[in-house]
Amino acid sequence: MTTAEPYETIHYHWFYNQQVDSRDSWQPFSEDDSQRLENAYTRVGKHGTEEVVVATEGRRYDVRLRERQRYAVYWEQTPTEVRRCSWFHKGSKDINFSPYTEELSEILEDAYMIAFTLNEWKTNLELPTGETVILHNPKLMTLHQNSCKDFPPSPSERSQPRTLKRGIESISIEIPEGEPEVVDHLVFMVHGIGPACDIRLRSIVHCVNEFRNASNGLINTHFRQGESTIGRVEYLPVNWHRVLHGETTGVDKDIERITLPSISGLRQFSNDTVLDLFFYNSATYGQTIVDTVASEINSLHSLFLQRHPSFTGYVSLAGHSLGSLILFDLLTNQKIDSETTGHDELHDDDPKIATACCSFNTLEDALRGQGLDEHLKILNREQVDLDSLMLCSEGDLKDIGIPLGPRKKIMNLVKKWKHSRAGSGHAAHSSGLGMRSTHEHQNTTTSAVDYQHFDVGIGQVSIDYPQFAFHPQAFFALGSPIGMFLTVRGLKRVDPNYSFPTCKSFYNIFHPFDPVAYRIEPMILPSDVNLPAMLMPHHKGRKRMHLELKEGLTRVSSDFLGSLRMVWQSISQVPTPALAEGGLNSMSPIEEPEDSPMEQEEKIMKVGMLNRGRRIDYVLQETPIESFNEYLFAIQSHLCYWESEDTALLVLKEIYEDFPVASSQS
């Protein structure tokens, strides 16, 4: 007589809900995170009143067990539901299984245990939802919708039951790998114009998540070997668009009032994206943007250290599009001896601003002149006049209820007003870029020219640059217009000896068809040197096949033309009376062939000091389909970096440059 198999307690796995196209999509936690949640649940009990917080997903999210909610730590995100899951259901048209609520799962498990223990199957179970579950056998269970008692069920209702599964082992689902606890390096990623960052219109958070996933996969395949002690790289998004276009600045309302009603969709898109370029080049909103970026990075850095107290690694910066220019301007204005965050001393030599600041005699006039008169009521209530405003800090203005945007404007006005009152001519703060204005004589040797104020109306607007709380190891510019902006500001060349005050490495990474990207190296190298950008290796360790074919055909063509040239030269050098009489000295010298790009690179040992003498410009390999029509893929190429494994690999090679683990190709 065979012995019946004993009833086995079900294995619980924790899931969280995320909205995809306005529909619920339940995602499993990693095994490690799920086990942490289960251990905490077991410790406090089912009906425990104590709130327990469990850090998950690389400590980027906190799960509050009693609330059953998952909260983002480093960015704003609506909390999502969390479930302790054991039973799952799926319809015939569904792709994935969805978990039942914990209450229904408990009812199903009790019924299953009774049927299994008594070996009584083909029983019906009425759920509180009005649905009926039929337990056919331990492996087959179905859910049926109950129709109205007065009408029999239709054939479609009878033939379309939902499938039920017990335990996560019974369903096909990919459980994500857990992330190592040890973080080797921290990278802050700053977005470009607009709220969307890629061709799928995803936010900076989603795009950075994509880049992090690519990085984690490459660490496993290229760096982590055997008993390697390599941990992981953490990437955190920096969102400045939300603050600039938030209610605190009121800029969206101001723009909306002057926007024409026609082609509203296109105008709204332009207001949300393209205008960011103009905002950055305005004194007021440019200050808001750099303040927001620096403040967000410093705040995230501090929060990260609180959650990773044993972190001993370095920090790097990455910026896409306009975000790279913002970081570039911040990095060129860092102080080497800066140990604390804060702003540099104001240096504003714009005569128009100085005149405007000192031409007001009352607080009312000063605020009205800057469009801030709506906040007069608050200041008058606190008995603040122009003189007392000079003594106020930003914290004081915050305490009395003035929003962030107007608060920044008022503080900026106060600083400039103090400066103009003092009447002292401050020397312009040079960033040390060692650049030359296009208005200077072409034969003048390159000298240190004021980065911000070398020529009124051409250089960057006056900005009071904040300081980072750390010295970055590297700066990665993705699809960057830095070179173009420097040229438009009137800067012709970069001193080869210049490097960022606090950052030792700089990489300018771009797709060959990116319409926004510009090079940096030609601004450093001699004008007669034509050095192509470095071709980035494919993450699988080889050049793309269509590029190898193109290169091979080019080489064959070059060899053929070279052979023809040699034959022609041998024919044309037959002695003539004139040549014989004049000898070799009278002959026209045979032109030396131009150096190939590789030979030029070998001759040039260093490409400036922005990247410690190493190459700066790195170009991605286009895909075969992109090579058919570069115009068709131009926009996509500017947004490709977030999903680019080749870009992530270059970042990792810089980060793990000195790590004693060799890259592996797979």
Diameter over CA atoms, the chain: 121
- Whether the model clears a pTM of 0.85, i.e. scores above it, the answer is no
Whether the predicted pLDDT of 137 surpasses 80? yes
pLDDT tens for each residue of 74-106: 999 999 999 999 999 988 788 889 999 999 999
Least confident of 131-140, 145-154, 307-316, 317-326: 145-154
Q: What pLDDT does 364 receive?
A: 80
Mean pLDDT of the chain: 79
Question: What 3-state DSSP class applies to 229?
Answer: coil
* Better-predicted residue by pLDDT, 185 or 434: 185
pLDDT tens for each residue of 514-542: 899 999 999 999 988 999 999 988 878 66
Instruction: Using alpha carbons, select from 424, 417, 422, 282 the residue that is nearest to residue 363.
Output: 417
**What is the average pLDDT across 347-356?**
39
Quote the CA–CA distance of 645 and 652 in Å, as a whole number: 10
Q: What pLDDT does 420 receive?
A: 57
Q: What pLDDT does 161 receive?
A: 85
* Better-predicted residue by pLDDT, 162 or 301: 301
Q: Count CB neighbours of 149 within 10 A.
A: 6
pLDDT band per the 50, 70, 90 thresholds, residue 433: low
**CA 543, 548, 554, 559 torsion-angle sign:** positive
Q: According to the 3-state scheme, what is the secondary structure of 312-347?
A: CCEEEEEEECHHHHHHHHHHHCCCCCCCCCEECCCC
H-run or E-run covering 88 = strand 87-90
pLDDT tens for each residue of 240-294: 988 888 877 888 888 888 989 888 888 888 888 888 889 899 888 899 999 999 9
Name the percent of the chain lying above pLDDT 70. Answer: 74
Distances (CA, A) of 576 to 267, 568, 570, 585, 587: 74, 16, 14, 14, 11
Quote the CA–CA distance of 415 and 436 in Å, as a whole number: 30
Q: What pLDDT does 604 receive?
A: 53
**What is the average pLDDT across 387-394?**
79
Quote the CA–CA distance of 544 and 553 in Å, as a whole number: 15
Whether the predicted pLDDT of 349 surpasses 60? no
Least confident of 123-137, 514-528, 615-629: 615-629
pLDDT band per the 50, 70, 90 thresholds, residue 478: very high
Q: What pLDDT does 586 receive?
A: 33
Name the percent of the chain lying above pLDDT 90. Answer: 41
Quote the CA–CA distance of 271 and 255 in Å, as a whole number: 8
Highest mean pLDDT among 254-263, 304-313, 359-368, 437-446: 304-313
Whether the predicted pLDDT of 546 surpasses 50? no
Q: What pLDDT does 3 receive?
A: 54
Residue type, 579: L
pLDDT band per the 50, 70, 90 thresholds, residue 152: low
Q: What pLDDT does 429 receive?
A: 37
Q: Count CB neighbours of 595 within 10 A.
A: 14
Question: What 3-state DSSP class applies to 6?
Answer: coil
Provide the token pair at 62.
């906190």
Whether the predicted pLDDT of 650 surpasses 80? yes
Provide the token pair at 101.
């609520």
Active site residues: 321
Least confident of 171-185, 253-267, 366-380, 587-601: 587-601
Residues in the chain: 666
Whether the predicted pLDDT of 458 surpasses 70? no
Q: CB under 8 Å to 651, separation ≥6 — which residues?
A: 187, 215, 233, 316, 318, 476
pLDDT tens for each residue of 572-608: 443 333 333 333 233 333 333 455 444 447 455 589 9
Provide the token pair at 631.
């115009």
Contact between 65 and 141 under an 8 Å Cβ cutoff? The reply is no
H-run or E-run covering 236 = strand 232-238
Whether the predicted pLDDT of 554 surpasses 60? no
Whether the predicted pLDDT of 492 surpasses 50? yes
Contact between 504 and 612 under an 8 Å Cβ cutoff? The reply is yes
